[in-house]
Structure 1
Amino acid sequence: MGNYYGLIEVGISFVGIILFGWWQLRSLNRDVKAREERERQVEQQKD
Structure 2
Amino acid sequence: DVIRQVNQARIKNEQDFKTAMVEAAGRDSVLLLVQRGQNGYYVTLEP
Higher relative contact order (CA 8 A, sep 6+): 2
Greater strand proportion: 2
Greater helix proportion: 1
TM-score, normalization: structure 1?
0.29
